[in-house]
Structure formats: structure tokens, C-alpha cells
Structure 1
Amino acid sequence: MKKYYTAESVTEGHPDKLCDIIADSVLDECLAYDPASRVACEVLATRGRITVAGEITSRHIPRVPEIVERVLKDIGYSTGGRMLDVLLHRQSPDIAAGVNTPLEERNGQSLGTQLGAGDQGVMVGYACDETPEKMPLAVMMAHRITHGLTMARKTGQIPELLPDGKAQVTVEYENGRPERLDTVVLSAQHRDDVRPAELEQALREKVLIPALRALPPDEDTRILINPSGRFVLGGPDADTGLTGRKLMVDSYGPFAPHGGGAFSGKDATKVDRSGAYMARYIARNIVAASLASRCQVTLAYAIGVTQPVMVEVDTFGTGTVCADDCLAMATRYVFELTPAGIIHALKLTRPIFAKTACCGHFGRADFPWEQEDRIKALQDAVL
């Protein structure tokens, strides 16, 4: 049975990603000086103006103008001619109370250093055995294209490129496995004086061929490069950017549902971020332990409560040892699912988040939620 799945990725210069990077850079600076910082930072970027807003409770006051200027410069945008609005205030005392004094403690259960969830919500993690990264192949290839596009620009391999860009990859699946590359779309911002045919040839040779090695194009693969014909004006000058508007790019594309909570700009007491990282950690270890070839883990939390109100595992019929409800029970046994436990297990008080903001939060070995270090514990729990 044939199916087609399409995954998307965008470069760091895309206006939405620019906002995500600024928000996570604000978070990182707060954590670098105060690991207990509570941050919920949102960014909007449009022509000539950037707005940074949200709630921050920290012993450090982030130097937002310096952060914004540094991010713009690092990405490759001009730092002049832009107005900056900074609209930050402290976290709501009601939310802070629910996090600091969770429901269980208010009901007389002594929890010591436990934290309540910073919000309600549903978080989804996914893993599969299609790639060494335990990610869907289409997703990984889309991210490799945009990463290659950025590297070709920054290293001078293709000097005509500008920071904005996006990629889309459609893969044909046969009986649940990737069989052939159907369509590739690449849109790359460029200088006004570029020769389109020369740019297209450079993009094919220096970006697409390396990025698509895992499933090379065949004679029927459609490759569309700058299908609009011209892409000179880009970034926030062309399109308003906003944090949290690339949820499926950040996660698993069409291969798994999304709980709805954005990641960037939030500290780890916000379980829509930390819970999604934990769900991915669990799913990857289940697949790495050969307990399933595909796995989706869903967690749900209530604000001010320590334990998740739901833990669900779905292996889509690929489980090898026990049923999905058995894996869900093993998950509760092997993994610490309270907010404090997640923060401790994944070391989420470190300033590591600006690196997550572009090319996906999952499938990159340098993040702690990608470690396959619970394989034996899971196997022991179910065997």
C-alpha cells in the first residue's frame, strides 16, 4: 500500500525561526545567570520592528537589546533601522504558586523539592527505526536541506544566498517504509543580481545532492527550486514572524500529532516543552530497545499537579514483547515523569535552548532527550 508523507523545514533566517531563536536566547541568558529562572518569552518581528514580550521571574535581567542585535548579526540580518519594544513583566503569582506548591503538597502530601506543572496540556513524543536518529526519513532530509542551505551561505560556497529559506520533502512509502523520493521543494532567498540558472545548479550540487543521499532522487522525482521565480525580499521585511508558529517543523511533521504547545521561549517548568522532550526520550528508548519499530508516547498534565494525568503508548501494532498498556506501565516505572524529575533527568536548567530553535528539536544527538540510555531498564521492566 502506497502513501505519501510531506515534511517541511525552514532556515534560521525564516521570520518565525528568527523569533524562536531570539526567545530561546533570552531564556538561555536567564538560565546562565540563574538556573531557577521562570521564562515565558514571545517575539514578534515585522518590517522595521521587533517586539519581545512575556513573563520573566529571574535574579538576572536579560539584556534584550544586546541579545536581539547578536541574533540578527549571527543570522545575517542588518542590525540597524529596527525599532525594539521590550514588554516583559514577572510571572503571575497564581501560576508561580501552583508550580512552587503543587496540589499534592497542598493536600498534605510532603513532596520536598517537587514542582507542579506550569500549565495543563498534552505532549507527544515519537520515534521510529527509519533512520539512525530514530526519526522519519522525510523529516530528517528536510532539515538536512535547510541546514545545508545555511552552511552554503555562511561558508561562502554559494555567496548569492541570503538568510531566509525553506524546504519541503515528499516521500513515497510502501507498506509503511520509505521507498522513493517523490518531490523536493527548495526556496532560497538570494541577491537581486543572481542568475537563476546558475543559482539553481549550485543549489543542486552543493545543497540537495549531499542532503538527499539517504534516498537519492530518481528519474521521476520532481525537484522545484524557487518555484515562485524570485525570492529577493525575505525575513521579517517580507513576512511577519512569530514564536511558536512552526510547531510541526519543530517536531515530527505529519508523522505524529502535536499537543499544541509551542517550545521556544519557555523554561522547563512549562511542561508543553519539557514534557514533549520527555515523551520523545521515552519513545526513542522504546524503539532503541527493539520493543517496537514505531512508537508514540502521549503525556498529559494539569497545572499545579506533579504527576501526569495520562501516560499512553501506541506502537501501531509493531510491539515485539508486550502490549501497549504494558509499555505504558513500564514507562511510569522506568522514567521520572514529574516536572522536577524531567528537569533533573534531562538537565534542563542549562542554557542549551537557542540551539534547539532551528532544524528541529528532535533527532540531534547533542540533546539529552536523544540519549538511548534507558534501554536495559525498559527491557528489564517488560521481560
Structure 2
Amino acid sequence: MRRWTWLRRVIPAGMGGLLALSAVASSTVELRTVPEVSTPPLVGFSFSPWAVSWASGQTPTQALGTLLERLHPDVVRLPVYWSEVEPSPGQFDFTTLDDLLATVTDYDQTAQRPARVLLVVGARNINYPELRLPGWLSASAGEHLSTLYRSSAYQEYLRTSFSRLASIPILYAWQIENEPLDNVSTDRDDPVALSGRIVSAEMSLLRSIDRQHPAVVTTYNSSHLALDEKGASPLAWLYALFSGPKPAGHPSRALQLGDVLGLDVYVVTPSTPLSEDSAIERIGWKAETIEYWAQKARASGRSLWLTEMQAGPWANAPGFTTTDLVLSADLYRDRGASLVLLWGVEGWLHSDQWMRAGLRAVGILRATSDPACAFSTRHPC
């Protein structure tokens, strides 16, 4: 009954027999069998030096070191910002990234649970403003993104980054751009979504350099399973014309482009769909969508990663709580994702309350309440 009540709000009245049949069919879909996961997911976090600048008084390397020692991640996602690694045309400087990689390597020397890194390469990269272009680019070059992405300068940034970093011992995987198929809020007025053709070309460039490590393509998805099902159907174009909540993100396309599907999962943001419902309800709905896409990924011979699991409030949307974080970990844990990366952990550095909740969430994701089990691969759990 709950599913049908919700669908009546989503689908406008008077859409005709075809849409009525579609609504009824969706209303009868039962929750699918939980995908089999032989072990708890790997757990880690995203880390951006840009976030540290306002989240704590530490330097980026100090902040990363603190988070490594407290959270003992399996994987850390780090950005390879074009604006940082190529400060002037043709002159590459990876010093900032090298310092972060050295911090992880140093931590691994004594860690019972060594960490590896997922590197995000692309102008579309993590943290606002989402699109990071070097200051030396001419204004005209930055105006036409589709042309810029095909330029020799951009291709050299990609090629140099892939070639230089492919052989580092702690590399776990690559990420091609960040939510490249999606239009997201930036400091620009024009759309920033990339075509699948551009993403595919970047994947081919990577594969010409490194065939050993998997590459993930990320996106976000809808707030409710019914919307994701409609977005994945042949009638997706028609549902997009309706008023009210619509399918969001591009998980079907991202699934086909990458070796791994990465979902970015948020429940309280400045533009949260279905915000009249509680965060608790939306966390439950998100858990269903994670399970749905995990099965889609497995059917395609791929894995599902939660590349961003909301683990803190947005600066301009503070409604996400520590209770929401712990509940998210509990409900997302066994839905079929093989890697879960927490988003927003830089903000925990100056909050004991959030750090405690974060530690609890990590333990839940690793399916144990024993800290020795949560943070060690050697403890006899």
C-alpha cells in the first residue's frame, strides 16, 4: 500500500491507459532478493585538500594522516586536479598529490589494515565547483567544454596523469571524471555534462596505458526505486516529460561505460527530491535502489561501488545527522556494494560527535561491533 500511495503522487492523473498500466505494474514489484556478498564491503573515504582548507586547521597531509589513523580505510579516493598538477602550460607538478600518496604509503608501513588509493582523473572532479580548469586557460578555451575535452592540452593532462600514476604500488583503481554524464551545480552558467563518447574515449586512452586496474564511472540516481525502474525502462524519455519527481542521474549509461558502476548516494541536500518525507524514509528507499543497481551491475558482469555515501551535512543543508549516518551504514551494508566510500569525513576532524558516529558507521559496514575486527585484518573475528 505504501508503494502505491507514493506512486499516485509521482504520476499525474489523466495520463491514459498505458501509463495507468505502467503505474500498476510498478506498484506490484516486490523487493528483490538481497545480492549475495561473500564478505563485508571494503570501506574507505574520499579526501580532498580543498575540503580541508575550511574543515580543519590542519594541513592536507596532517588531516589525511589523522583520518587514516582513526578510520583505518581499505581505500582512499584522491583527486588528480588538472588545475593542481599542471600549474602552467606543459609544466606538470604532482607535488601535492605525491605528498598525499606518501602519507598513505607511510601509514601502510605499520597499519594492520593497509590502505590503497582510487585516483580521480579529469577536469570534472570531486568537491565544488565540480569543474576545475587551470587558470592559464584562455577564457575562450574554457567556454566550449566539448572542444576543450578533445584538445591536445587536455589529452596531455590525461595521458601524463595515467602514465605517471599507473605503476604506484598502492593504486587500487581509477575513476574517469566525476559524475561526467550528469549536469551538476558549478560556478558556471552552462551545462557541464559530458557525452558518453567523450567518456568512452578517455576510457580507451586509459586502457592503452593501464589494463591492470579497474576504472569506475560515477553518477547519482533517483530517490526511489520506482523512479529508477522507470529511468531504466524503454519509456524513460516519456517519464522525463511528466511533472513531479523524475528519474535522476544516468546509472544505466554509466554502467555500460565503466568496469565498475559508482553510485553517489545522498539523502539530505539543498535540492533533495521528495524532501517532504523524512530522511529515515529516504534512507530506506535509497537502500532499495542500491540493491537494484547492484543486481543490474552483476547481470552485466560488473561490480557496484558506493563512491560517495553521505557521511555529513552539506554546508547549506544541515539536516543530515549522526543518526542518519549510522542508519545509512546499517541499511546500505548488505545491499550488494563491494566498496563503500564515505563522503564528508574532513568535517569530522573538528567534531568528536561526528567522529564517534563515523567510527560506529565503519564498524557497522564491516559487519562487526568489535573495534578490533573493524580496523584490523589480523584479528581473529
Q: TM-score, normalised by structure 1?
A: 0.24
Larger RCO, structures 1/2 (Cα 8 Å, 6+ apart) = 1
Higher strand share: 1
Q: TM-score, normalised by structure 2?
A: 0.25
Higher helix share: 2
